[in-house]
């Protein structure tokens, strides 16, 4: 009988827990704080911290205005700087060093690369994630650093992603899963039942805890994106940033002439390389045929002369 009662108690919990992977509905989000408050007052779990959390997450009383939810925004900035070719890589190195000297708590270098082609073409890119206040000061210095290096800021863009809804839903999912975890723990402690029921409860409890850990990890990632903004800086030399100018058509025509001349010469060399062996074979064959015919003609003439002499 005890096993049957335990199984009946377990089945609703299992069915409810199976739906924890999907985002909670509005009614579930509204009921989760109330359930958390009720569980925090349950016997066997007296805790001042639990009471404070329950009070903080409790729904507002009737007649009270709901607390406003502050927007959680993730910012991404991008700059494109035009610099002399001999200054681009140096300025990139200075900015990377400034981020590294600030420490990982304020700034983190995500990626940095630079390339140079000849003496007048250089490109580079720096990607960092930084704390908002530090990044604001760094962005204010970009224009000054660029002008000091003899360059200018070509473009500046700001992109914003609103993570408020995702973070609120994730927090609600964590609260709902925590309520389920508390119920399973209490059920496992108060209604042990037989071994099979206990194993089923422990497996479901492990699954719920895994869901909580994964959801908390996703929430921490979103909080990190809000706390630290992303900045991408592209460094380009003048020849790469502004290839068109007054003398650009003439330069392009000269480049095309030289390129076409080189391509024609390359094609001629390839043609000679392909035809050289067949030409040699044909030449040797023609020479052998002509020589054979010459010898044959000489032999016939000698035979005719011999017949005439004998006559």
**86-110 as b/e: b if 16+ CB within 10 A:** ebbbbbbeebbeebeebeeebbbbe
For residue 96, give the nearest of 109, 85, 114 by alpha carbon. Answer: 109
- What global pTM score does this model have? 0.49
For 11-30, the pLDDT digits (tens) are 444 434 334 344 444 333 33
Asked if residue 283 has pLDDT above 60, the reply is: yes
291: Cβ contacts below 8 Å, ≥ 6 apart: none
For residue 20, give the nearest of 2, 32, 3, 6 by alpha carbon. Answer: 32
Asked if residue 309 has pLDDT above 80, the reply is: no
pLDDT given at position 204:
87
Please give the C-alpha separations between residue 98 and each of 92, 126, 137, 247, in angstroms, as whole numbers.
10, 12, 12, 39
Asked if residue 41 has pLDDT above 50, the reply is: no
Angle at 122 between CA 119 and CA 128, to 5 degrees: 155
Q: Are strands 107-117 and 152-162 parallel, antiparallel or unpaired?
A: unpaired
% of the chain with per-residue pLDDT over 70: 72
% of the chain with per-residue pLDDT over 90: 22
For residue 237, give the nearest of 295, 150, 160 by alpha carbon. Answer: 150
Asked if residue 53 has pLDDT above 50, the reply is: no
**107 falls in which pLDDT band (50, 70, 90)?**
very high
Sign of CA dihedral 140, 142, 145, 149: negative
What top-level class would CATH report for the domain 73-163+228-241?
Answer: alpha beta
For residue 227, give the nearest of 160, 128, 130 by alpha carbon. Answer: 130
For 144-175, the pLDDT digits (tens) are 999 998 899 999 999 988 888 888 888 999 99
For residue 224, give the nearest of 136, 96, 108 by alpha carbon. Answer: 108
How far apart are alpha carbons 172 and 65 in whole angstroms? 20
Mean pLDDT of the chain: 75
Q: Which residue has better confidence, 37 or 288?
A: 288
């Amino acid at each position: 009988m005890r096993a049957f009662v335990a199984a009946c108690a377990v089945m609703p919990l299992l069915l409810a827990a199976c739906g924890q992977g999907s985002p909670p509905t509005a009614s579930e989000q509204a009921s989760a704080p109330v359930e958390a408050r009720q569980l925090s007052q349950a016997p066997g779990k007296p805790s001042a911290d639990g009471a404070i959390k329950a009070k903080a997450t409790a729904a507002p009383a009737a007649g009270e205005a709901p607390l406003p939810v502050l927007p959680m925004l993730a910012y991404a900035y991008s700059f494109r700087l035009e610099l002399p070719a001999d200054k681009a890589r140096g300025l990139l190195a200075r900015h990377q060093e400034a981020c590294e000297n600030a420490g990982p708590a304020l700034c983190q270098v995500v990626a940095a690369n630079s390339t140079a082609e000849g003496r007048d073409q250089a490109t580079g890119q720096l990607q960092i994630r930084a704390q908002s206040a530090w990044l604001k000061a760094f962005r204010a210095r970009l224009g000054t650093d660029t002008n000091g290096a003899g360059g200018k800021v070509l473009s500046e863009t700001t992109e914003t992603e609103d993570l408020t809804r995702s973070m609120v839903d994730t927090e609600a999912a964590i609260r709902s899963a925590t309520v389920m975890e508390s119920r399973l723990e209490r059920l496992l402690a108060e209604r042990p039942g037989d071994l099979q029921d206990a194993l089923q409860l422990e497996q479901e409890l492990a699954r719920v805890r895994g869901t909580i850990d994964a959801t908390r990890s996703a929430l921490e990632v979103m909080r990190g994106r809000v706390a630290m903004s992303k900045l991408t800086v592209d460094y380009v030399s003048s020849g790469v940033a502004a290839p068109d100018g007054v003398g650009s058509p003439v330069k392009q025509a000269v480049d095309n002439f030289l390129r076409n001349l080189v391509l024609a010469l390359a094609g001629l060399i390839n043609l000679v390389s392909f035809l050289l062996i067949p030409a040699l074979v044909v030449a040797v064959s023609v020479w052998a045929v002509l020589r054979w015919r010459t010898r044959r003609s000489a032999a016939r003439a000698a035979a005719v002369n011999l017949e005439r002499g004998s006559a």
